Amino acid sequence: MIKISIICVGKLKEKYWREAIAEYSKRMGRYADFTITEVDEEKLPDSPSQSQIENTLQKEGERILARIPKGASVAAMCIEGKQYSSEKLAALLEKSMSYDSGSIAFIIGGSWGLSDDVKKAADIRMSMSEMTFPHQLARVMLCEQIYRSCTIIAHAKYHK
């Protein structure tokens, strides 16, 4: 069974986001060892300077890097990444299953994105869209797509 983790910055505050994540986590239980790890989000003033933003990205990035499972393939979710269809994401998961660790970690940054160190540590850079989404919604969307990919691999009826 593949080990899939999402490492993300910040906590889900709204109940509806938490409920959506709980539902997809439950569904994925039959296909994968699935975990979500939240790292603390840095607090910034309303109009931060570029150096404050860079400092925030660095601190959050260090927390993220410390939580990546040893031997896992790493997919950084970032706007400059490559877009994948559901079928191609399923193929990526199947490929990760064949590695020694059988593990993949998806990384979602906070409001300001991901540090260069996190992006450099990634095996791939992935984008959901050219549009910008709140990172809470991105987490739910990623969970749904991972679940969909698992059902594609298993030839289940969810994906049409």
Per-domain residue ranges of the chain: 2-153
pLDDT digit string (tens) for 21-42?
Answer: 999 999 999 999 999 999 999 9
Q: Of 10-24, 38-52, 92-106, 132-146, which gets the smallest average pLDDT?
A: 92-106
pLDDT digit string (tens) for 112-155?
Answer: 999 999 999 999 999 999 988 888 999 999 999 999 999 999 99
What does pTM read for this prediction?
0.94
Domain 2-153 in CATH: superfamily?
Answer: SPOUT methyltransferase, trefoil knot domain (3.40.1280.10)
**E strands in the chain:** 2-9, 32-39, 73-83, 103-108, 124-127
Q: Under a CB-based contact definition with an 8 Å cutoff, are residues 156 and 38 in contact?
A: no
Query: Which position has the token pair 């940054």?
Result: 109
